[in-house]
Amino acid sequence: MQFEEFSREHLPGLVRFAAVLTGDRDLAQDVVQDALVRAHQRWRRISATDRPDLYLRKTVVNGYFTWRRHWYQRSVHAASDVTRFREPSAPDPARRIADADQLSDLLAGLSRAQRAAIVLRFYEDRDDDEIAAILGCAPGTVRSHVSRGLSSLRIRLREGKETV
């Protein structure tokens, strides 16, 4: 598959994924653009892999991690409404979350690795092996990130209900 065809096919999904991951559609577009530029330079090698889409997702996650490392240089604002990231033609697995504002706030409270693992698992519907390939860690570490992240989310949800 040619790079142009691949990027045209996968761009909307990559931007949606990055938007949920970053909580900022503009930043998501920047992260995806950087990932596509890097992938274009190495497309011959990337296209020879079994799953070039996983390579691109890994590049997006790495771009997000790099951005988060330099958070002090940027002005970060949580998105007030993550529903604007949805494309009307694609089903959104995150619809189970009634309050998108609450989802954004909850995800923002997780570590980078936990947030990435949870978004990949529940928004992207990826399995442990795919997430491990994207994050560059072992499948057991993925399970740990997801478990700890969900535990943290449960605690924060419970605390939020008690204060109401």
pLDDT at 105: 80
CA–CA gap between residue 26 and residue 140 (Å, rounded): 33
Residue 113: domain span = 97-164
Reply yes or no on whether the pLDDT at 160 is more than 80.
Answer: no
CA–CA gap between residue 109 and residue 24 (Å, rounded): 15
36: closest CA among 7, 62, 9?
7
CA–CA gap between residue 21 and residue 147 (Å, rounded): 18
Q: Are residues 70 and 103 in the same domain?
A: no
Per-residue pLDDT tens digits for 9-20: 999 999 999 988
- Residue ending a domain, choose from 75, 110, 141: 75
123: closest CA among 18, 5, 27, 39?
18
Q: Are residues 64 and 119 in the same domain?
A: no
Local structure of 70: helix, strand or coil: coil
Local structure of 39: helix, strand or coil: helix
Q: Is residue 83 in a domain?
A: no
Q: Are residues 70 and 101 in the same domain?
A: no
Q: Are residues 8 and 67 in the same domain?
A: yes
Q: Are residues 116 and 53 in the same domain?
A: no
CATH of the domain at 163: 1.10.10.10
Q: Is residue 114 in a domain?
A: yes
Question: If pLDDT is split at 50, 70 and 90, which confidence band does 147 have?
Answer: very high
Check: CB of residue 138 under 8 Å from CB of residue 91: no
Lowest mean pLDDT among 39-43, 58-62, 94-98: 94-98
Query: Does residue 56 or residue 163 have the better pLDDT?
Result: 56
Q: Is residue 90 in a domain?
A: no
Check: CB of residue 78 under 8 Å from CB of residue 94: no
Q: Are residues 60 and 116 in the same domain?
A: no
Give the mean pLDDT of the chain. 82
Q: Is residue 81 in a domain?
A: no
Lowest mean pLDDT among 54-68, 93-107, 149-163: 93-107
Q: Is residue 6 in a domain?
A: yes
Per-residue pLDDT tens digits for 82-133: 666 665 555 544 444 445 667 778 888 899 999 999 999 998 899 999 999 9
Check: CB of residue 82 under 8 Å from CB of residue 19: yes
Q: Is residue 80 in a domain?
A: no
Query: Does residue 67 or residue 49 have the better pLDDT?
Result: 49
CA–CA gap between residue 39 and residue 124 (Å, rounded): 20
Q: Is residue 85 in a domain?
A: no
Q: Are residues 103 and 62 in the same domain?
A: no
* Cα-Cα-Cα-Cα dihedral sign, residues 20, 93, 97, 89: positive
Q: How many domains does the chain have?
A: 2
CA–CA gap between residue 14 and residue 119 (Å, rounded): 12
Per DSSP, which regions of 7-164 are E strands?
none
Q: Is residue 20 in a domain?
A: yes
